[in-house]
Amino acid sequence: MATLEQQFPRKRVLITGTSSGLGRALALEFAQRGWKIAVTDLDPLMIKQTAEAVRAAGGEPLEMVLDVTRVEHFEAAAKRVTEAWGGLDVLVNNAGVSDAGRMEGELTLENWRLLMDVNLWSVIYGCRTFIPVLKKAGRGHILNVASGAGLGCLPEMASYNATKAAVVAISATLKTELIVDHIDVTVSCPTAFRSNIANNERVDKCKSVAGRGIMEAIKKTTVSAESVAQYNIRSMESGKLYSLPQADARAMWRAARWMPEKYSKLLTYLYNKRLWLFAPGK
């Protein structure tokens, strides 16, 4: 199994959403391996802080403000990395937001648009913009960050589930399409790990039993963003399509794929009986 450094000796990666969580953890993992890293986010101060951490870890940061909901920002980023580095080897579409609620009222159309823009359209923009750049380099790898939610489809999370399931589908499609161009694709589908995704105003106001249960699980878990990042990189090096860092992610994937009717009945039972993540008080 060749390491990413052996596959891509020029070691050039762009990561969206590097201010915290998995994006920052991935940036630092690549930095420890001596990569050039395009550190991107919306907040210039957070970009600078991550860039300093990348430099201290042994990487070479390239700071840029990138709004993942705007295709012109991706186009500008592609132009900049091409000018600075002569191209790109690895693209990581990581930026994402979460929300939860029942379909008939709690999930507003504004909620749907936000999650579609950040979680889905950003992946579409990133892939469409950078695939030609990777082709020019002669080979490449795309890591799209989805979620276990895209595989398991928990109740009261329709907008989040839908965007993440779409990212899984896009990744599986590109895995086949791009093989002739020597571009590989991996999709990350973690379950709960420590990140700032549970710390936002939408979550604080969330009335969803499932949503609050999942966010509590994120706050209580011992799984770190660093361990998920390391697993993702190993999955890329192994040429895997699905990167499933935790045991429960792997179990959910198998159950939903191999016995979908039984999985659906079990999920319905747990939800209606208010068990597991859906227990009162979550």
Sign, CA torsion 204/247/95/110: negative
Q: The domain containing residue 224 runs over which residues?
A: 7-255
| Domain presence at residue 65 | yes
**Which of these, 240, 236, 216, lies nearest to 89 by C-alpha position?**
236
**DSSP strand pairing (242-243 vs 183-188):** parallel
Longest CA–CA span in the chain (Å) reads: 57
Residue 271 among the catalytic residues? no
Report the number of distinct structural domains present in the chain: 1
DSSP at 192: S
pLDDT in tens, 168-219: 999 999 999 999 999 999 999 999 898 776 555 555 566 677 777 777 777 7
- Cβ atoms of 242 and 143 within 8 Å: the answer is no
Q: Quote the pTM value.
A: 0.94
| Domain presence at residue 2 | no
| Domain presence at residue 69 | yes
Q: Which of 160, 231, 263, 271 is catalytic?
A: 160
| Domain presence at residue 264 | no
| Domain presence at residue 1 | no
Name the strand (E) or helix (H) holding 41: strand 36-41
Q: If you average pLDDT over every residue of the chain, what do you get?
A: 93
- Cβ atoms of 7 and 141 within 8 Å: the answer is yes
pLDDT in tens, 45-60: 999 999 999 999 999 9
| Domain presence at residue 262 | no
| Domain presence at residue 185 | yes
| Domain presence at residue 266 | no
Using CA atoms, how far apart are residues 198 and 68, in angstroms rounded to an integer? 20
Q: For residue 59, what is the domain's CATH number?
A: 3.40.50.720
Q: What is the CA radius of gyration of the chain?
A: 18
